[in-house]
């Protein structure tokens, strides 16, 4: 059947195929009945590679410890129940999983924050979460320090995460309430967040000078972010938070995609700006707070992962899934390095995330110039 | 007759322009505030000095106890506070102008973490123990770090110099990198930790006149560059393409601006610790008074910065008697609520 030279109305209601398909080479529409998505091949490939890297790094990580193992032995211990089964399942797997999940949660929180603030420098610090957690925990460690019997035992394993969670949520609530004024302007939120974070950060610095130097050192380890001695009790909350909030955030991607335009445009497009923004910020806050409670405010993950992800995936705005996987890989790789560089001593993982992530981000920045991108 | 001829100027955009106070009035007011803060800073402290004794100590010291307190403690401290406050205020305004990012503080170029890294390394590796010694290292570290950030931003920015986003991201990345190395060193060495945590808290106390003299040439050079940079920055605020079309050398303007920021904030941070967020807040307070013109914004920010730093220092000496509260924490506790209130009160000026 040849098409007529002059387009005629189609009685079946099938629209005519546009002679020039408006489609980019690396994007394919994926249709499933009435629903359709834009499948970005480069994003999908990046996600798969990052997932594989995360699993591999986890396995490499789980070799380390008092009893060194090979990767094959690790896999055997996970599946079977040899003598190492207990060590791997109860000690090493939870630690590795905490790293992966915390990295993903922080990166996701960062991606949402950066999209809402429309600012590549924004991170959950700006929402008051991580700084709120830090100041609360440093306060507890310094005041309940060596002089008062030390922050050990139950306080260290249950109390500190709870204090961190409470501090993070309180910080976020303070920012939110102070920024709310008949609506939530992304710009005002960020500025208020900067002010509140400055208070928290400087109070934290001051608290570090109050206690004795040993307690300050221990507080420094926590505020750097550490995966040392993390067990299933740290994995479960982060896993639950991710299970609930990742689908929620993905459902909000549509709004997230348009929120980068000005408020008037967004409202014109039929998005309820305050509601969409409020829900997405809530998701970011919860993710960051739970992750921080589990492993401390691991530096740089929330800020760098979305920026790395959007450059790797070649898109304009931080992609959520790729960002989360970037975060997972970054934290796991950093943990591996933190345990091998100064072995047998162990650095806090947050010290290494920046050492690994910063050069890579810089490399991407420099390479972007050759890619002829603005 | 003239009433019939004079055309009525139509309102430009339907709304009247926001009324801004006259520059001469604002400058006089800010200078007055700085003077009051400086006088208080010389008088107030663990040992209050009455005004007559201050005058005596400044004009004809005879070696009384108050003379010594004023000349060896209070005056150097006040001078350092003035220098650091002006430097950070101006540097903050420049930084936000160049990056067009309201989150940019002068520490963004890596000066704070560069200084911290070099000082901690000096303590650990070279065994430097005197304050005077590690401030040199701090200065050198701040300068090297920000030159490095600028070079990276340049490499990422293409022709026309680094774009604001690449500059800001490169600065954040380098800062995070250096902070990580500093934390690692500090966690391994308790003595370095002890120095670092007090430097980090931010203070202008106990520095002596040497430090003020040490910092002065850098601040002076930075201020000259900043004032030279102001008109160019105004053009740049229209966007790089417009600025280029108007015949401006964008790369040169950026380079001069970054040099000024580096000198000003590097000197202040090395001497007084992590106070860079003063430079973040002050321009937001100055902008409603000055509007977008950097020729007004820069001096206003400098004076406001000095008044704020000295005022906070005085408060820190009063509230925690007989001890003192570091100026860093006082500035945050007093300044941030003010800043938040300001941000809430009006629709913030976008950069």
3-state secondary structure chain B: CHHHHCCCCCCCCCCCCCCCCCHHHHHHHHHHHHHHHHHHHHHCCCCCCCHHHHHHHHHCCCCCHHHHHHHHHHHHHHHHHHHHHHHHHHHHHHHHHHHCCCCCCHHHHCHHHHHHHHHHHHHHHCCCCCHHHHHHHHHHHHHHHHHHHHHHHHHHHCCCCCCHHHHHHHHHHHHHHHHHHHHHHHHHCHHHHHHHHHHHHCCCCCCHHHHHHHHHHHHHHHHHHHHHHHHHHHHHCCCHHHHHHCCCCHHHHHHHHHHHHHHHHHHHHHHHCCCCHHHHHHHHHHHHHHCCCHHHHHHHHHHHHHHHHHHHHHHHHHHCCCCCCCHHHHHHHHHHHHHHHHHHHCCCCCC
Condensed to tens digits (0 to 9), the pLDDT of residues A94-133 reads: 888 889 999 999 999 999 888 887 777 778 877 888 889 8
Sign of CA dihedral B323, B328, B331, B333: negative
Secondary structure E strands in chain A: 27-32, 35-40
Sign of CA dihedral A116, A119, A121, A126: negative
Contact A361, A308 (CB under 8 A): yes
CATH topology of domain A46-61+73-369: ABC transporter involved in vitamin B12 uptake, BtuC (1.10.3470)
Selection from A181-185, A283-287, B191-195 with the highest mean pLDDT: A283-287
Number of domains within chain B: 1
| Residues of B whose CB is below 8 A from A218 | none
Extract the tokens encoding B255. 């380079």
pLDDT of residue B104: 74
**Nearest chain A residue (CA) to B182:** A351
| Residues of B whose CB is below 8 A from A120 | 165, 168-169
pLDDT of residue A365: 74
- Which ipTM value was assigned to this complex? 0.74
- Dist CA A122 CA A32 (whole Å): 36
Considering only residues A350 and A16, tell me which one the structure prediction assigns the higher pLDDT: A350
Mean pLDDT of chain A: 77
Task: Tell whether B53 is covered by a domain.
Answer: no
CATH of residue B82's domain is 1.10.3470.10
- C-beta atoms of B281 and A361 within 8 A: no
Phi and psi at A9, nearest 5°, equal -60, 140
- Dist CA A221 CA A297 (whole Å): 10
Selection from A8-17, A175-184, B295-304 with the highest mean pLDDT: B295-304
Residue A313 confidence (pLDDT) above 70: yes
**Nearest chain B residue (CA) to A219:** B187
Nearest CA of chain A to the CA of B205: how many Å? 15
- C-beta atoms of A121 and B177 within 8 A: no
Phi and psi at A36, nearest 5°, equal -150, 145
pLDDT band at A262 (very low <50, low <70, confident <90, very high): low
A233 closest CA partner among A168, A289, A283, A290: A290
Task: Tell whether B295 is covered by a domain.
Answer: yes
Best mutation site among A191, A204, A373 for testing chain B: the one with the most B CBs within 10 Å? A191
pLDDT band at A373 (very low <50, low <70, confident <90, very high): very low
Residue A139 confidence (pLDDT) above 80: yes
Sign of CA dihedral A89, A95, A99, A102: positive
Domain that holds residue B207: 77-344
Best mutation site among A202, A216, A364 for testing chain B: the one with the most B CBs within 10 Å? A202
pLDDT of residue A103: 92
pLDDT of residue A106: 92
Query: Which residues, 6 or more positions from B6, have their beta carbon under 8 angstroms from its beta carbon?
Result: none
Q: What's the average model confidence in pLDDT over A271-278? A: 74
Asked if the bond preceding B126 is cis, omega within 30° of 0, the reply is no
Task: Tell whether B32 is covered by a domain.
Answer: no
Q: What's the average model confidence in pLDDT over A63-91? A: 74
- C-beta atoms of A202 and B184 within 8 A: no
pLDDT of residue A319: 81
Distances (CA, A) of B108 to B7, B177, B261: 50, 13, 10
Considering all CA atoms of chain A, what is the largest pairwise distance in Å, rounded to the nearest integer?
Answer: 91
- Using a 10 angstrom Cβ sphere, with 0-12 exposed, 13-18 middle and 19 or more buried, the burial of residue B203 is buried
Q: Specify the length of chain B in residues.
A: 351
pLDDT band at A263 (very low <50, low <70, confident <90, very high): low
Contact A332, A61 (CB under 8 A): yes
- Dist CA A334 CA A99 (whole Å): 9
Share of chain A above pLDDT 90, in %: 6
Helix (H, G, I), strand (E, B), or coil: what is residue A39?
strand
How many Cβ pairs closer than 8 A exist between chain A and B? 168
Helix (H, G, I), strand (E, B), or coil: what is residue A251?
helix
Q: Smallest Cβ distance to A120: which of B169, B332, B340?
A: B169
- C-beta atoms of B187 and A365 within 8 A: no
- Dist CA B346 CA A168 (whole Å): 28
Selection from A67-71, A243-247, A271-275 with the highest mean pLDDT: A243-247
Through-space distance between the first and last CA atoms of chain A, rounded to whole angstroms: 46
Domain residue extents for chain A: 46-61+73-369
Q: What's the average model confidence in pLDDT over A285-290? A: 90
pLDDT band at A12 (very low <50, low <70, confident <90, very high): very low
Low-confidence ranges of chain B (pLDDT < 50): 1-14, 348
pLDDT of residue A87: 75
| Residues of B whose CB is below 8 A from A368 | 156, 166
| Residues of A whose CB is below 8 A from B102 | 187, 190-191, 194
Residue A38 confidence (pLDDT) above 80: no
pLDDT of residue A260: 64
pLDDT band at A218 (very low <50, low <70, confident <90, very high): confident
Phi and psi at A123, nearest 5°, equal -155, 175
Contact B83, B216 (CB under 8 A): yes
pLDDT of residue A120: 75
- Dist CA A261 CA A276 (whole Å): 14
Q: What's the average model confidence in pLDDT over A137-143? A: 84
- Dist CA B158 CA B150 (whole Å): 12
pLDDT band at A3 (very low <50, low <70, confident <90, very high): very low
DSSP category for residue A107: H
Distances (CA, A) of A78 to A89, A276, A308, B335: 7, 42, 32, 54
- Dist CA B275 CA B258 (whole Å): 19
Question: What is the model's pTM?
Answer: 0.75
- C-beta atoms of A354 and B156 within 8 A: no
pLDDT of residue A11: 42
Angle between helices A349-370 and A301-313 (to 10 degrees): 30
Task: Tell whether B213 is covered by a domain.
Answer: yes
Nearest CA of chain B to the CA of A26: how many Å? 25
pLDDT of residue A158: 62
| Residues of B whose CB is below 8 A from A361 | 169, 173
């Amino acid at each position: 059947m040849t098409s007529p030279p002059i387009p005629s109305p189609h009685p079946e209601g099938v629209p005519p195929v546009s002679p020039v398909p408006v489609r980019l080479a690396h994007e394919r529409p994926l249709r499933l009945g009435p629903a359709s998505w834009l499948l970005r091949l480069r994003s999908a490939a990046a996600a798969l590679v990052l997932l594989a890297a995360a699993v591999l790094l986890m396995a490499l990580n789980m070799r380390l410890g008092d009893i060194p193992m090979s990767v094959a032995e690790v896999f055997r211990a996970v599946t079977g129940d040899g003598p190492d089964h207990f060590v791997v399942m109860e000690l090493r797997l939870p630690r590795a999983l905490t790293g992966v999940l915390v990295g993903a949660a922080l990166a996701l929180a960062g991606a949402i924050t950066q999209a809402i603030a429309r600012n590549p420098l924004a991170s959950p610090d700006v929402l008051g979460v991580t700084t709120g957690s830090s100041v609360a925990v440093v306060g507890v460690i310094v005041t309940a320090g060596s002089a008062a019997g030390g922050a050990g035992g139950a306080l260290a394993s249950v109390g500190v995460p709870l204090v961190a969670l409470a501090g993070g949520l309180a910080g976020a609530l303070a920012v939110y309430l102070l920024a709310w004024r008949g609506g939530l302007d992304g710009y005002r939120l960020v500025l208020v967040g900067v002010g509140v974070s400055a208070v928290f950060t400087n109070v934290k610095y001051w608290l570090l000078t109050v206690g004795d130097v040993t307690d300050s050192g221990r507080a420094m380890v926590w505020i750097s972010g550490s995966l040392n001695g993390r067990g299933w009790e740290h994995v479960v909350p982060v896993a639950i938070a991710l299970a609930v909030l990742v689908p929620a955030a993905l459902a909000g991607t549509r709004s997230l995609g348009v929120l980068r335009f000005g408020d008037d445009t967004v409202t014109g497009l039929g998005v309820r700006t305050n509601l969409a923004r409020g829900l997405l910020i809530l998701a970011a806050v919860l993710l960051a707070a739970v992750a921080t409670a589990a492993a401390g405010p691991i530096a740089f993950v929330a800020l760098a992962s979305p920026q790395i992800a959007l450059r790797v995936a070649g898109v304009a705005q931080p992609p959520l899934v790729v960002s989360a996987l970037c975060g997972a890989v970054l934290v796991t790789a950093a943990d591996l390095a933190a345990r091998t560089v100064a072995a047998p001593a162990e650095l806090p993982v947050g010290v290494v995330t920046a050492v690994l992530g910063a050069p890579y981000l810089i490399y991407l920045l420099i390479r972007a110039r050759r890619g002829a991108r603005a | 007759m003239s009433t019939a001829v004079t055309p009525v100027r139509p309102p430009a955009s339907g709304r009247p322009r926001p009324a801004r106070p006259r520059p001469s009035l604002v400058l006089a007011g800010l200078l007055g505030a700085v003077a009051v803060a400086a006088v208080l800073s010389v008088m107030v402290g663990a040992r209050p000095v009455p005004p007559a004794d201050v005058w005596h100590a400044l004009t004809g010291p005879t070696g009384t106890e108050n003379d010594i307190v004023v000349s060896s403690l209070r005056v150097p401290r006040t001078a350092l506070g003035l220098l650091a406050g002006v430097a950070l205020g101006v540097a903050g305004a420049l930084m936000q102008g160049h990056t067009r990012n309201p989150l940019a503080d002068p520490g963004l170029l890596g000066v704070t973490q560069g200084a911290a890294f070099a000082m901690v390394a000096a303590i650990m590796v070279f065994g430097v123990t005197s304050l005077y010694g590690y401030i040199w290292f701090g200065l050198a570290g701040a300068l090297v770090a920000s030159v490095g950030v600028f070079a990276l931003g340049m490499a990422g920015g293409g022709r026309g110099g680094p774009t604001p986003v690449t500059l800001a991201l490169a600065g954040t990345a380098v800062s995070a990198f250096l902070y990580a190395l500093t934390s690692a060193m500090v966690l391994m060495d308790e003595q370095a930790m002890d120095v670092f945590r007090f430097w980090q808290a931010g203070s202008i106390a106990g520095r002596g006149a040497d430090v003020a003299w040490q910092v002065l040439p850098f601040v002076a050079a930075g201020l000259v560059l900043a004032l030279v940079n102001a008109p160019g920055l105004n053009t740049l605020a229209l966007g790089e393409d417009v600025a280029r079309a108007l015949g401006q050398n964008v790369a040169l303007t950026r380079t001069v601006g970054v040099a000024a920021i580096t000198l000003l904030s590097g000197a202040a941070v090395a001497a007084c610790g992590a106070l860079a967020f003063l430079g973040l807040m002050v321009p937001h307070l100055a902008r409603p008074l000055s509007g977008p013109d950097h020729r007004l914004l820069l001096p206003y920010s400098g004076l406001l910065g000095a008044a704020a730093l000295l005022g906070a220092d005085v408060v820190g000496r009063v509230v925690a008697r007989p001890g003192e509260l570091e100026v860093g924490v006082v500035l945050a506790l007093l300044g941030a609520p003010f800043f938040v209130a300001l941000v809430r009160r009006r629709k913030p000026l976008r950069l």
